[in-house]
């Protein structure tokens, strides 16, 4: 569906664009990562089954991807399903997988039109085969997208990711392909699911929880964090613009002092 920003959203877009274009402005974020939380509560508050919260959450995914594209932010990474989420009731997991497959299938034209390429991050082989199939199909169909990468963290857990990276590096050392002295933070980064991507500049979490929930632990070392009470299905483009505006007003020092 084409993006028709509301007057309020349009006004945010103009202000943020003007702000980032000014020579003394801070650069806009290159990578925004989001923990989409609160779908279940949103449904509960309305007396609906939890899956209806996830369904409504897909509208927010669309809205945020469009907003991100509008601001020319090249990387958006969404926490769609964690390694821990497998412990949810089977019916909820099955419904989520189906929603995910439908999203991956139905959004291809929109992604192609907007220069968006899709990437899956996580232990993807744990996903049902029909989801793996659609994920790969969508990845291939959109791989030429040059304007934005939409990454979905699926069956993703950061500790699992770092553990796998350690094992892969250890194997290379054992096989004589890498010396221990050559293991640098860049080498570690190159063995994560996010290889080739810049680290997130901004981490957004909805539903007011102050946790990082095993998400991109290595990559968010210097990310700015923005938390909102709003539940994910209520989180739309204008709220995203608010987060970006707040990010632009922050002073990022990376542990150094201001000069
Ligand atoms: C957290 O809400 C959300 C999830 C575990 C799944 C996120 C999935 C979607 C937004 C829909 C599918 C996504 C895509 C990209 C197609 P919760 O269920 O933990 O909410 P609660 O904390 O209120 O129970």
The total domain count for the chain is 1
Q: How far is the CA of 163 from the centre of ligand 1 (A)?
A: 25
Strands (E), 124-228: 148-156, 202-205, 224-227
**Domain residues for 55?**
29-157+199-248
Q: What is the pLDDT of residue 259?
A: 55
Is the pTM of the predicted complex or chain greater than 0.85?
Answer: yes
Query: Which residue's C-alpha comes closest to atom 11 of ligand 1?
Result: 54
Whether 165 is in a domain gets the answer: no
Q: How far is the CA of 81 from the centre of ligand 1 (A)?
A: 7
Active-site residue list? 37, 85
Answer positive or negative: Cα dihedral of 198, 202, 207, 211: positive
The tens place of each residue's pLDDT in the chain, 259 residues long, gives 789 999 999 999 999 999 999 888 888 999 999 999 999 999 999 999 999 999 999 999 999 999 999 999 999 999 999 999 999 999 999 999 999 999 999 999 999 999 999 999 999 999 999 999 999 999 999 999 999 999 999 999 999 999 999 999 999 999 999 999 999 999 999 999 999 999 999 999 999 999 999 999 999 999 999 999 999 999 999 999 999 999 999 987 777 776 5
CA distance 57 to 236: 10
Q: What is the pLDDT of residue 64?
A: 98
- The pocket around ligand 1, CB under 6 angstroms, is made up of 36-41, 54, 57-58, 61, 78, 80, 85, 99-100, 103, 152, 232
Q: What is the pLDDT of residue 254?
A: 73
Q: What is the pLDDT of residue 12?
A: 97
Whether 173 is in a domain gets the answer: no
Q: What is the pLDDT of residue 218?
A: 98
**CATH (domain of 240):** 3.40.1180.10
Whether 138 is in a domain gets the answer: yes
* Ligand 1 atom showing the smallest separation from residue 43 Cα: 23
Q: How many residues does the chain have?
A: 259
Q: What is the pLDDT of residue 25?
A: 81
Whether 217 is in a domain gets the answer: yes
Whether 34 is in a domain gets the answer: yes
CA distance 140 to 133: 11
Q: What is the pLDDT of residue 36?
A: 98
Whether 95 is in a domain gets the answer: yes
Q: How far is the CA of 40 from the centre of ligand 1 (A)?
A: 7
Are 168 and 187 contacting, i.e. CB atoms less than 8 angstroms apart? no
Whether 116 is in a domain gets the answer: yes
Q: What is the pLDDT of residue 26?
A: 84
CA distance 60 to 40: 14
Whether 176 is in a domain gets the answer: no
Are 206 and 57 contacting, i.e. CB atoms less than 8 angstroms apart? no
């Amino acid at each position: 569906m084409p993006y028709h920003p509301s007057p309020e959203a349009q006004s945010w877009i103009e202000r943020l664009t003007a702000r980032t274009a000014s020579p003394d402005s801070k650069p806009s974020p290159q990578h925004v990562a989001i923990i989409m939380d609160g779908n279940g509560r949103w449904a509960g508050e309305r007396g609906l089954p939890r899956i209806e919260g996830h369904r409504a959450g897909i509208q927010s995914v669309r809205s945020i991807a469009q907003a991100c594209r509008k601001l020319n932010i090249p990387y958006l990474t969404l926490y769609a399903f964690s390694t821990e989420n497998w412990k949810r009731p089977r019916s909820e997991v099955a419904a989520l997988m189906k929603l995910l497959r439908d999203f991956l299938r139905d959004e291809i034209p929109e992604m192609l039109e907007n220069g968006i390429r899709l990437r899956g991050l996580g232990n993807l082989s744990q996903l049902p085969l029909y989801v793996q199939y659609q994920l790969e199909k969508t990845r291939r169909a959109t791989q030429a997208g040059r304007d934005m990468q939409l990454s979905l963290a699926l069956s993703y857990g950061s500790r699992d990711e770092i553990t796998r990276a350690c094992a892969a590096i250890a194997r290379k050392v054992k096989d004589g392909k890498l010396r221990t002295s050559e293991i640098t933070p860049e080498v570690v980064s190159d063995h994560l699911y996010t290889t080739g991507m810049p680290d997130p500049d901004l981490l957004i979490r909805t539903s007011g929880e102050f946790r990082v929930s095993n998400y991109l632990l290595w990559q968010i070392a210097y990310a700015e964090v923005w938390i909102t009470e709003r539940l994910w299905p209520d989180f739309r483009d204008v709220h995203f613009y608010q987060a970006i505006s707040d990010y632009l007003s922050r002073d990022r020092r990376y542990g150094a002092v201001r000069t």
